[in-house]
Amino acid sequence: MSERAGPSAEISFDDFMRVDIRIGTIVSAEPFPEARKPAFKLVIDFGPEIGQKKSSAQITVRHSLDELVGRQVMAVVNFPPRQIGPVRSEVLTLGFPDEAGHVVLAAPSHPVPNGARLF
């Protein structure tokens, strides 16, 4: 998908509600040298109902490891897991491309409880 593409086709509200986007706090972040494209391995805490989930995130240009732990991020939690090299990525961490196409994480402007759902 091109980061400058026009809007997608119209969907129903029910379609939107099937995508489960939650907030979680990164509890660990480490390099992922085995990934084809530069990435970090993240463990994100989505609260007691969902628990901690792993994610591979291509965020190495705009984010550093030392700034990630403790940061809240948004992720899709109901996609099937994907095997990315030796890591089973359980959630899709969300972000937007900057002017150069590097990913900037999507996050709330104020802290919210882990596991809160986007609506």
- Domain containing 64 — which CATH number? 2.40.50.140
Whole-number Å distance between alpha carbons of 49 and 56: 22
In-domain check, residue 118: no
* Domain-located, residue 75: yes
Q: Is residue 96 part of a domain?
A: yes
Number of domains the chain contains: 1
Q: Does position 3 have pLDDT exceeding 60, yes or no?
A: no
Amino acid 6: pLDDT: 87
Q: For residue 4, report the phi and psi dihedrals to the nearest 5 degrees.
A: -110, 15
| pLDDT computed for residue 1 by the predictor | 47
Position 7 in a domain: no
Whether 59 has a pLDDT exceeding 70, the answer reads yes
pTM surpassing 0.95?
no
- Assigned domain for 29 exists: yes
In a domain, 42, yes or no: yes
CA–CA dist 105, 55 (Å, integer): 13
Task: Say if 72 falls within a structural domain.
Answer: yes
Here the tokens at position 78 are: 């109901």
Cα 88 from chain centroid (whole Å)? 14
Is residue 117 assigned to a domain? no
For residue 100, what are the domain limits? Answer: 13-105
Over residues 72-103, the pLDDT tens digits come to 999 999 999 999 989 999 999 999 999 999 99
